[in-house]
Amino acid sequence: MIAWLTDPLTHGIVVRAMLELTLLGVVSGGLGCWIVLSGMSYSAESLAHGMLPGLVGAALLGVPLLVGGAVGLVIAALSIVVVARVPRLDSDVAVSVVVTALLGLGVLMGLSPRTPAGLGEILFGDVLGVSDLDIRLAAGLGAAIVVVLAVLHPTLMAIGFDRAGARALGRRPAPFDAVLAVLLAGATLVAVQALGNLLVVAMLVGPAATARVLCDRMAAMMLTATLVAFAGSVAGLYLSYHASVAAGASVTAAILTLYGLALLWRAATALRGRRTAAAHA
Protein backbone atom coordinates (compact mmCIF):
# COMPACT_ATOMS: atom_id res chain seq x y z
CA MET A 1 0.00 0.00 0.00
CA ILE A 2 2.76 2.42 1.00
CA ALA A 3 4.69 1.50 -2.12
CA TRP A 4 1.56 2.01 -4.16
CA LEU A 5 1.48 5.61 -2.88
CA THR A 6 5.22 6.37 -2.90
CA ASP A 7 6.29 4.62 -6.11
CA PRO A 8 4.98 7.29 -8.48
CA LEU A 9 6.69 10.00 -6.42
CA THR A 10 10.13 8.45 -7.06
CA HIS A 11 9.71 9.48 -10.69
CA GLY A 12 10.77 13.04 -11.39
CA ILE A 13 8.28 13.42 -14.21
CA VAL A 14 5.34 12.53 -11.96
CA VAL A 15 6.43 15.04 -9.32
CA ARG A 16 6.87 17.71 -11.98
CA ALA A 17 3.46 16.91 -13.41
CA MET A 18 1.97 17.21 -9.92
CA LEU A 19 3.68 20.59 -9.45
CA GLU A 20 2.41 21.83 -12.82
CA LEU A 21 -1.14 20.65 -12.12
CA THR A 22 -1.11 22.16 -8.63
CA LEU A 23 -0.14 25.53 -10.10
CA LEU A 24 -2.85 25.22 -12.74
CA GLY A 25 -5.23 24.23 -9.92
CA VAL A 26 -4.61 27.57 -8.23
CA VAL A 27 -5.40 29.29 -11.54
CA SER A 28 -8.50 27.18 -11.88
CA GLY A 29 -9.60 27.82 -8.29
CA GLY A 30 -9.42 31.58 -8.65
CA LEU A 31 -10.24 32.32 -12.27
CA GLY A 32 -12.47 29.26 -12.77
CA CYS A 33 -14.97 30.57 -10.22
CA TRP A 34 -15.34 33.83 -12.14
CA ILE A 35 -15.60 31.93 -15.45
CA VAL A 36 -18.42 29.79 -14.05
CA LEU A 37 -20.26 32.65 -12.31
CA SER A 38 -20.02 35.09 -15.23
CA GLY A 39 -21.22 32.54 -17.76
CA MET A 40 -17.86 32.52 -19.54
CA SER A 41 -17.57 28.70 -19.76
CA TYR A 42 -18.57 28.74 -23.41
CA SER A 43 -15.98 31.42 -24.17
CA ALA A 44 -13.38 29.33 -22.37
CA GLU A 45 -14.17 26.31 -24.51
CA SER A 46 -14.29 28.39 -27.69
CA LEU A 47 -10.91 30.00 -27.05
CA ALA A 48 -9.28 26.66 -26.25
CA HIS A 49 -10.62 24.94 -29.36
CA GLY A 50 -10.26 27.94 -31.67
CA MET A 51 -6.51 28.12 -31.04
CA LEU A 52 -5.89 24.63 -32.48
CA PRO A 53 -4.70 25.80 -35.95
CA GLY A 54 -2.16 28.04 -34.21
CA LEU A 55 -0.83 25.12 -32.16
CA VAL A 56 -0.66 22.74 -35.13
CA GLY A 57 0.89 25.46 -37.26
CA ALA A 58 3.57 25.99 -34.64
CA ALA A 59 4.30 22.23 -34.56
CA LEU A 60 4.54 22.14 -38.38
CA LEU A 61 6.88 25.14 -38.48
CA GLY A 62 8.89 24.01 -35.47
CA VAL A 63 8.30 27.18 -33.42
CA PRO A 64 7.35 27.07 -29.73
CA LEU A 65 3.76 26.00 -29.10
CA LEU A 66 3.32 29.03 -26.84
CA VAL A 67 3.88 31.35 -29.80
CA GLY A 68 1.56 29.33 -32.04
CA GLY A 69 -1.09 29.25 -29.36
CA ALA A 70 -0.92 33.01 -28.86
CA VAL A 71 -1.26 33.63 -32.61
CA GLY A 72 -4.10 31.10 -32.73
CA LEU A 73 -5.93 32.87 -29.91
CA VAL A 74 -5.66 36.24 -31.63
CA ILE A 75 -6.90 34.75 -34.94
CA ALA A 76 -9.80 33.02 -33.17
CA ALA A 77 -10.79 36.19 -31.30
CA LEU A 78 -10.60 38.34 -34.46
CA SER A 79 -12.60 35.80 -36.51
CA ILE A 80 -15.32 35.75 -33.87
CA VAL A 81 -15.49 39.54 -33.85
CA VAL A 82 -15.74 39.64 -37.66
CA VAL A 83 -18.34 36.86 -37.98
CA ALA A 84 -20.40 38.30 -35.13
CA ARG A 85 -20.91 41.37 -37.30
CA VAL A 86 -22.78 39.37 -39.95
CA PRO A 87 -26.34 40.66 -39.74
CA ARG A 88 -29.05 38.23 -38.62
CA LEU A 89 -26.49 35.90 -37.05
CA ASP A 90 -26.74 35.44 -33.30
CA SER A 91 -23.38 35.90 -31.54
CA ASP A 92 -23.51 32.36 -30.09
CA VAL A 93 -24.01 31.02 -33.61
CA ALA A 94 -21.10 33.14 -34.84
CA VAL A 95 -18.84 31.75 -32.13
CA SER A 96 -19.80 28.14 -32.79
CA VAL A 97 -19.35 28.55 -36.57
CA VAL A 98 -15.88 30.07 -36.12
CA VAL A 99 -14.77 27.58 -33.50
CA THR A 100 -15.96 24.54 -35.42
CA ALA A 101 -14.29 25.84 -38.57
CA LEU A 102 -11.01 26.52 -36.75
CA LEU A 103 -11.07 23.16 -34.98
CA GLY A 104 -11.69 21.46 -38.33
CA LEU A 105 -8.89 23.44 -39.95
CA GLY A 106 -6.57 22.48 -37.13
CA VAL A 107 -7.38 18.78 -37.53
CA LEU A 108 -6.96 19.03 -41.32
CA MET A 109 -3.53 20.64 -40.86
CA GLY A 110 -2.64 18.00 -38.28
CA LEU A 111 -3.54 15.14 -40.62
CA SER A 112 -1.60 16.54 -43.57
CA PRO A 113 1.24 14.41 -45.05
CA ARG A 114 3.71 16.34 -42.92
CA THR A 115 1.85 15.45 -39.73
CA PRO A 116 3.88 16.79 -36.85
CA ALA A 117 4.96 14.21 -34.32
CA GLY A 118 3.14 15.87 -31.46
CA LEU A 119 -0.46 16.03 -32.66
CA GLY A 120 -1.63 13.79 -29.83
CA GLU A 121 0.18 16.03 -27.36
CA ILE A 122 -1.46 19.10 -28.82
CA LEU A 123 -4.94 17.61 -28.56
CA PHE A 124 -4.61 15.81 -25.25
CA GLY A 125 -1.57 17.43 -23.67
CA ASP A 126 1.49 15.87 -22.20
CA VAL A 127 1.43 16.65 -18.55
CA LEU A 128 4.22 14.14 -17.86
CA GLY A 129 6.44 15.96 -20.34
CA VAL A 130 6.17 19.50 -19.00
CA SER A 131 9.34 21.53 -19.31
CA ASP A 132 10.89 23.84 -16.74
CA LEU A 133 9.60 26.71 -18.83
CA ASP A 134 6.04 25.34 -18.59
CA ILE A 135 6.29 25.15 -14.81
CA ARG A 136 7.74 28.64 -14.54
CA LEU A 137 5.00 29.99 -16.80
CA ALA A 138 2.32 28.29 -14.74
CA ALA A 139 3.86 29.69 -11.53
CA GLY A 140 4.01 33.20 -12.99
CA LEU A 141 0.49 32.97 -14.33
CA GLY A 142 -0.83 31.61 -11.03
CA ALA A 143 0.80 34.45 -9.09
CA ALA A 144 -0.45 37.09 -11.53
CA ILE A 145 -4.01 35.75 -11.46
CA VAL A 146 -4.13 35.54 -7.67
CA VAL A 147 -2.88 39.14 -7.34
CA VAL A 148 -5.22 40.59 -9.99
CA LEU A 149 -8.28 38.74 -8.68
CA ALA A 150 -7.51 39.70 -5.07
CA VAL A 151 -7.14 43.38 -5.93
CA LEU A 152 -10.26 43.51 -8.09
CA HIS A 153 -12.32 41.25 -5.80
CA PRO A 154 -14.72 43.88 -4.36
CA THR A 155 -15.49 45.31 -7.79
CA LEU A 156 -15.85 41.90 -9.47
CA MET A 157 -18.26 40.85 -6.71
CA ALA A 158 -20.35 44.02 -7.09
CA ILE A 159 -20.49 43.69 -10.91
CA GLY A 160 -21.09 39.94 -10.84
CA PHE A 161 -23.94 40.26 -8.38
CA ASP A 162 -25.69 43.20 -10.02
CA ARG A 163 -24.44 44.01 -13.49
CA ALA A 164 -27.25 46.42 -14.30
CA GLY A 165 -26.61 48.33 -11.09
CA ALA A 166 -22.82 48.49 -11.46
CA ARG A 167 -22.99 51.94 -12.99
CA ALA A 168 -24.84 53.29 -9.95
CA LEU A 169 -21.92 51.99 -7.86
CA GLY A 170 -19.54 53.96 -10.05
CA ARG A 171 -18.15 50.98 -12.00
CA ARG A 172 -18.38 50.33 -15.73
CA PRO A 173 -18.45 46.54 -16.28
CA ALA A 174 -16.62 46.59 -19.65
CA PRO A 175 -13.01 47.09 -18.45
CA PHE A 176 -13.44 44.41 -15.79
CA ASP A 177 -14.94 42.00 -18.36
CA ALA A 178 -11.88 42.66 -20.50
CA VAL A 179 -9.52 41.87 -17.61
CA LEU A 180 -11.28 38.53 -17.02
CA ALA A 181 -11.12 37.75 -20.75
CA VAL A 182 -7.38 38.49 -20.86
CA LEU A 183 -6.75 36.33 -17.79
CA LEU A 184 -8.81 33.56 -19.37
CA ALA A 185 -6.81 33.75 -22.62
CA GLY A 186 -3.54 33.67 -20.67
CA ALA A 187 -4.67 30.74 -18.55
CA THR A 188 -5.79 28.80 -21.63
CA LEU A 189 -2.49 29.45 -23.37
CA VAL A 190 -0.41 28.22 -20.44
CA ALA A 191 -2.65 25.30 -19.41
CA VAL A 192 -2.92 23.98 -22.97
CA GLN A 193 0.76 22.96 -22.84
CA ALA A 194 0.03 20.46 -20.10
CA LEU A 195 -3.55 19.41 -20.74
CA GLY A 196 -3.95 19.79 -24.46
CA ASN A 197 -6.49 21.49 -26.63
CA LEU A 198 -9.42 19.23 -25.80
CA LEU A 199 -8.91 18.77 -22.05
CA VAL A 200 -7.86 22.23 -20.91
CA VAL A 201 -11.47 23.36 -20.42
CA ALA A 202 -12.11 20.54 -17.94
CA MET A 203 -9.31 21.86 -15.74
CA LEU A 204 -10.38 25.52 -16.02
CA VAL A 205 -14.10 24.97 -15.51
CA GLY A 206 -14.55 21.58 -13.79
CA PRO A 207 -13.20 22.35 -10.29
CA ALA A 208 -15.11 25.65 -10.09
CA ALA A 209 -18.30 23.98 -11.32
CA THR A 210 -17.86 21.35 -8.59
CA ALA A 211 -17.28 24.02 -5.93
CA ARG A 212 -20.33 25.90 -7.19
CA VAL A 213 -22.49 22.92 -6.27
CA LEU A 214 -21.02 22.71 -2.76
CA CYS A 215 -20.50 26.32 -1.62
CA ASP A 216 -22.60 29.41 -1.02
CA ARG A 217 -19.78 31.90 -0.33
CA MET A 218 -17.24 33.11 -2.87
CA ALA A 219 -14.14 32.59 -0.70
CA ALA A 220 -15.20 29.05 0.18
CA MET A 221 -15.96 28.37 -3.48
CA MET A 222 -12.49 29.48 -4.60
CA LEU A 223 -10.79 27.42 -1.89
CA THR A 224 -12.92 24.36 -2.67
CA ALA A 225 -12.24 24.69 -6.40
CA THR A 226 -8.50 24.77 -5.74
CA LEU A 227 -8.76 21.68 -3.52
CA VAL A 228 -10.88 19.85 -6.11
CA ALA A 229 -8.32 20.67 -8.79
CA PHE A 230 -5.54 19.38 -6.54
CA ALA A 231 -7.40 16.23 -5.51
CA GLY A 232 -8.36 15.53 -9.12
CA SER A 233 -4.77 16.03 -10.25
CA VAL A 234 -3.32 13.69 -7.64
CA ALA A 235 -5.99 11.04 -8.17
CA GLY A 236 -5.61 11.33 -11.94
CA LEU A 237 -1.83 10.98 -11.83
CA TYR A 238 -2.00 7.89 -9.58
CA LEU A 239 -4.63 6.37 -11.85
CA SER A 240 -2.44 7.14 -14.85
CA TYR A 241 0.66 5.62 -13.20
CA HIS A 242 -0.93 2.41 -11.94
CA ALA A 243 -3.38 1.76 -14.77
CA SER A 244 -1.00 3.00 -17.49
CA VAL A 245 -3.58 5.34 -19.03
CA ALA A 246 -3.02 8.84 -20.40
CA ALA A 247 -2.34 11.34 -17.61
CA GLY A 248 -4.32 14.30 -18.96
CA ALA A 249 -7.38 12.16 -19.59
CA SER A 250 -7.07 10.56 -16.11
CA VAL A 251 -6.95 13.96 -14.42
CA THR A 252 -9.96 15.12 -16.43
CA ALA A 253 -11.87 11.96 -15.53
CA ALA A 254 -11.01 12.41 -11.83
CA ILE A 255 -12.25 16.01 -11.82
CA LEU A 256 -15.47 15.03 -13.59
CA THR A 257 -15.95 12.20 -11.07
CA LEU A 258 -15.65 14.72 -8.23
CA TYR A 259 -18.20 16.91 -10.00
CA GLY A 260 -20.59 13.94 -10.28
CA LEU A 261 -20.09 13.11 -6.59
CA ALA A 262 -20.81 16.73 -5.65
CA LEU A 263 -24.05 16.65 -7.62
CA LEU A 264 -25.08 13.37 -5.97
CA TRP A 265 -24.25 14.73 -2.51
CA ARG A 266 -26.27 17.88 -3.23
CA ALA A 267 -29.26 15.86 -4.43
CA ALA A 268 -29.07 13.58 -1.39
CA THR A 269 -28.95 16.56 1.01
CA ALA A 270 -31.89 18.21 -0.73
CA LEU A 271 -33.87 14.97 -0.46
CA ARG A 272 -33.04 14.56 3.22
CA GLY A 273 -33.97 18.20 3.84
CA ARG A 274 -37.35 17.67 2.18
CA ARG A 275 -37.96 14.47 4.21
CA THR A 276 -37.11 16.31 7.44
CA ALA A 277 -39.41 19.17 6.46
CA ALA A 278 -42.19 16.70 5.64
CA ALA A 279 -41.70 14.90 8.99
CA HIS A 280 -42.02 18.21 10.83
CA ALA A 281 -45.07 19.32 8.87
Q: Which of 2, 3, 168, 243 binds another protein (CB under 8 A)?
A: 168
Query: Which is nearer to another protein, 77 or 149 (by Cβ)?
Result: 149
3-state helix, strand, coil in the chain (%, to 5): 85, 0, 15
Q: Is 4 in the site for another protein (CB under 8 A)?
A: no
Rounded-to-integer distance, Cα 73 and Cα 183, Å: 13
93, 220, 245, 261: residue in contact with another protein (rule CB under 8 A): 220
Comparing CB distances to another protein, the nearer of 49 and 212 is: 212
In three-state secondary structure terms, 114 is coil
Which of 101, 215, 234, 256 is close enough to bind another protein by CB under 8 A?
A: 215
Binding status of residue 218 toward another protein by CB under 8 A: yes
Is 85 a residue that touches another protein (CB under 8 A)? no
Site for another protein contains 273 (CB under 8 A): no
Chain residues 35-74 in contact with another protein, contact rule CB under 8 A: 37
Rounded least distance, CB 34 to another protein, Å? 12
Q: Which stretch binds another protein (CB under 8 A): 87-95, 131-139, 186-194, 215-223?
A: 215-223
Binding flag, residue 182, another protein (CB under 8 A): no
- Dist. CA 185–CA 47, nearest whole Å: 7
User: What's the rounded Cα separation, in Å, for the pair 202 and 188?
Assistant: 11
Helix-helix angle 52-61:91-110, to 10 degrees: 20
Nearest alpha carbon to residue 50 among 25, 27, 17, 83: 83
Could you give the CA distance from residue 110 to residue 113 in angstroms, rounded to a whole number? 9
Find, among 73, 69, 81, 76, the residue nearest to 101 by Cα.
76
Task: Determine if 158 is a binding residue for another protein (CB under 8 A).
Answer: yes
| Residue selected from 109, 130, 187, 212 as contacting another protein according to rule CB under 8 A | 212
- With a CB cutoff of 8 Å and minimum separation 6, the contacts of 228 are 29, 206, 207, 210, 211, 255, 258
Residues 130-149 that bind another protein (CB under 8 A): none
- Residue 179 CB, shortest distance to another protein, in Å, is 10
Q: What is the DSSP string of 116-165?
A: -TTHHHHHH--GGG--HHHHHHHHHHHHHHHHHHHHHHHHHHHHHH-STT
User: Would you say 120 or 165 has its CB closer to another protein?
Assistant: 165
Number of other residues whose CB lies within 10 A of the CB of residue 17 = 27
Span of 90-98, 110-118, 160-168, 273-281 interacting with another protein by CB under 8 A: 160-168
Binding site for another protein (CB under 8 A): 37, 151-155, 157-158, 160-162, 164-165, 167-171, 212, 215-218, 220-221
